[in-house]
Amino acid sequence: FHGLDVNAVRRDFPILQERVNGRPLVWFDNAATTQKPKAVIDRLTRFYEHENSNIHRAAHELAARATDAYEGARDKVRLFLGAASSEEIVFVRGATEGINLIANTWGEANIGAGDEIIVSHLEHHANIVPWQMLAARKGAKIRVIPVDDTGQVILEEYTRLLTPRTKLVSVTQVSNALGTVVPVHQIVALAKAAGVTTVVDGAQSVSHLRVNVQAIGTDFFVFSGHKVFGPTGIGVVYGRKAVLDAIPPWQGGGNMIADVTFEKTLYQAPPNKFEAGTGNIADAVGLGAALDYVQKLGLEAIAAYEHDLLAYATQHLAPIKGVRIIGTAAEKASVLSFVLDGHTTEQVGRALNDEGIAVRSGHHCAQPILRRFGLEATVRPSLAFYNTCEEVDRFIAVVRRLAKA
């Protein structure tokens, strides 16, 4: 396997020492959320022990420390995404809130009756429902890029859907249900050539592959901290500066204003314009520590290791009698979705849990794509760089035993 000292890495994650049902925990539910390295846990503790204060508004020392830590984290996010300026980085609660923010700001200002919003068949509900709500308010329409039988988007169909009515294209970079790596660079380039605004949902990509928002060329990019080894309740909207400058705020309140009278309010410039009220300061700082951690390992090393591990798992799962793998695109990351003849997905999930192995079984908040394959649910192990071949072997042994039963 490619150069990553997995045993050293595992020692950085205290929870990997847990035992579940008498067995060492195997965390194969990374697409739902990731575990946290000691560096992140310690950073949160340090913040609350030495820096805790509200930010941006006081003259005292702790306010300066907290503000430095929070704005420092914003700059770490900028570097991580390859954004041009930290003014393009808005902290939100997560990818879901990020997409809702875009729908309620850019969408409110730019979508009208008869306009079309393109998403792919692979989307998480978080990248479907906010657009449906916007479309219902405005009399706009949702158009869907179909996928082939491997679970990859069909680009020729996409080019046919792009018309003068198209105002927005919003696609995921990695499918949380199937693991498909979507060619977002091409999708965005085609949209931009047609003058169409773009959103990329990076909830499942930033933990598995190197992302550069300027190389993608997208107007917006969102992700969640908890899926990239950071805390829950913190996430990011990247927005190109010219776009953020031009759109109205969403929530109103403190921090986002420059001046308030009863007659009129002047807003701050981005990013503050989009950060009303007291944000999730400590968890933003924790996210900064998480990004430092993955940067130190290197996204290239992570991607190479996980690629090999996913190939190993796929090789051993595919030949088991009665197993059907859903999602066989040439380029995949982390996710191995499957069903097993004669067993419900709940039964498989329970049998794995009995052995201390955590997977998700269900619809993965992506019902349309599962239904595309005639299913309501799959079993979904999803891997991270701290997983090992030995863990895959334990998982395979359980599925083999069930397949024979």
- Residues taking part in catalysis: 365
Number of residues that this document lists for the chain: 405
Q: Rule CB under 6 A: choose which of 95, 211, 369, 384 binds ligand PMP.
A: 95
Residue 327 interacting with ligand PMP (CB under 6 A) = no
Radius of gyration of the chain (CA): 22
Q: Rule CB under 6 A: choose which of 94, 151, 279, 327 binds ligand PMP.
A: 94
Taking the least distance from each CB to ligand PMP, the nearer of 66 and 202 is: 202
Alpha-carbon span 223 to 316, nearest angstrom: 31
Distance in Å, CB of 360 to ligand PMP, minimum: 9
Taking the least distance from each CB to ligand PMP, the nearer of 204 and 337 is: 204
x/- site string to ligand PMP, residues 53 to 92, per CB under 6 A?
Answer: ----------------------------------------
Residue 335 interacting with ligand PMP (CB under 6 A) = no
- Distance in angstroms between the alpha carbons of the first and the last residue of the chain: 33
Q: How many residues bind ligand PMP (CB under 6 A)?
A: 13
Distance in Å, CB of 129 to ligand PMP, minimum: 11
Whether omega for the bond prior to residue 319 falls within 30 degrees of 0, making it cis, is no
Residue 325's nearest CA partner among 17, 316, 88 is 316
x/- site string to ligand PMP, residues 354 to 383, per CB under 6 A?
Answer: -----------x------------------
Distance in Å, CB of 254 to ligand PMP, minimum: 24
Taking the least distance from each CB to ligand PMP, the nearer of 67 and 361 is: 361
How many Å separate Cα 88 from the centre of its chain? 18
Taking the least distance from each CB to ligand PMP, the nearer of 79 and 365 is: 365
CB-count burial class (<10 Å; 0-12, 13-18, 19+) for 60: exposed
x/- site string to ligand PMP, residues 168 to 197, per CB under 6 A?
Answer: ----x---x---------------------
Residue 96 interacting with ligand PMP (CB under 6 A) = yes
Contacts of ligand PMP in 111-170 (CB under 6 A): 124, 126-127
Q: Are strands 166-172 and 116-120 parallel, antiparallel or unpaired?
A: parallel
Please report the beta strands in 146-300, taking only residues with DSSP state E, as ranges in sequence order: 166-172, 197-201, 220-224, 235-239, 257-260, 265-267
- Binding region for ligand PMP (CB under 6 A) out of 53-61, 93-101, 146-154, 393-401: 93-101
CB-count burial class (<10 Å; 0-12, 13-18, 19+) for 195: exposed
Please check whether residue 224 is in contact with residue 31, taking contact to mean a CB–CB distance below 8 angstroms.
no
Please check whether residue 333 is in contact with residue 205, taking contact to mean a CB–CB distance below 8 angstroms.
yes
Residues that bind ligand PMP (CB under 6 A): 94-96, 124, 126-127, 172, 176, 201, 203-204, 224, 365
